Every structure is written in C-alpha cells, then in structure tokens.
Amino acid sequence: MRIARDGTWYYLDSPIGRSQMVRLFSRVLRYDDDGCHYLVTPVEKIRIKVECAPFLITQMQCSGSGDGQVIELETSTGEAFSCGAEHRLWVECDAGGDPVPLVHVRSRLNGLLHRNVYYRLIELGRPRRIDGEQVLAVRSGGEWFSLGRM
C-alpha cells in the first residue's frame, strides 16, 4: 500500500476509490520509531509507503483577527483541527528548493497543505522576525508560524 503526494491511497497500484475505506485506514495509521508508516490493527501490522505526508490538507477556514486569529484546517479524510501549539505549521524545501508546507495532524503524523490552502495562508501572511530571520508568517492559536523567508 502507499499514499501518493496528492493524498490518493493505493492498494496493489490501484487507487482506493471508496472514501469510507480510506477513512478507516487513516484511523489505524501510525508512524513508528523506525521511520516508517504502518496500518496497525489488533491482529496485524502492515507497512505502508508514504510519498510525502500521510494526510492532505484540503480545506481552510480563518476566524478572528490579531491575537485571536484561528486557522482551522481539514484533511481529505475529514479530520479537522486548529493550528496552534499542538498542531504546528512549518515549511520545508524539497531537493529543488520548492516549498513543502506541512502541519502536524496527530500522533507523529503530518499533513501536506494543498497548493490552494498554502496560497490562502500566504495571503494571510505578515512580515515578521522569527529566530532572527525576516519571514512571512501567519498567526493562529496564539502562535506564529513561518511560511518562508522574505
């Protein structure tokens, strides 16, 4: 099994078309100390290949403003949460230098922000100095999150 970068789940190189099945699998997904992802049930443990991140963030809502601003995200499997201390947002760069925006979803599992969600965050961004660098950043749940250097 594998999860493609676009969030599509595959079994034997065929996409899993039933969203209910993908949701069920996503609930038993785990990231272990060996650096691998697994589907874990009481009777078996199956290694799964994850191309980028196991979840794709497809929806975003923003409420409030200033210190009270909250950014709410939702995965393609229907898990919703607010960015903050427990659900940190960050941007890495891939081998080509392109941004890879990620967020902590739950239990050592991360989500890749869909391009549209990332662009909406950029629209909300404000210049800010974080860790000695001038960056574009967004605020949510009382925390600042860097979207990249300016």
Average pLDDT over residues 11-28: 96
CATH class of 2-50: alpha beta
Q: Using 50, 70 and 90 to split pLDDT, how confident is the model at 143? A: very high
pLDDT of residue 116: 97
Name the DSSP class of 43. S
> What's the rounded Cα separation, in Å, for the pair 137 and 150?
10
The pLDDT value recorded for residue 66 is 87
Q: What is the DSSP letter of 88?
A: -
- pLDDT tens digits for range 126-136: 999 999 999 99
Considering the four listed CATH numbers 2.30.270.10, 3.20.20.70, 2.60.120.200, 1.10.132.20, the one that applies to the domain covering 55-149 is: 2.30.270.10
- Supply the pTM of this predicted model: 0.94
pLDDT of residue 150: 78
Domain ranges of the chain: 2-50, 55-149
pLDDT single digits (tens) 78-121: 999 999 999 999 999 999 999 999 999 999 999 999 999 999 99
Q: What is the mean pLDDT of residues 6-11?
A: 97
Alpha-carbon span 47 to 103, nearest angstrom: 22
Report pLDDT digits (tens) over 24-76: 999 999 999 999 999 999 999 999 999 999 999 999 999 999 889 999 999 99
List Cα–Cα distances, 34 to 1, 25, 51, 53, 70, in angstroms: 18, 20, 16, 16, 34
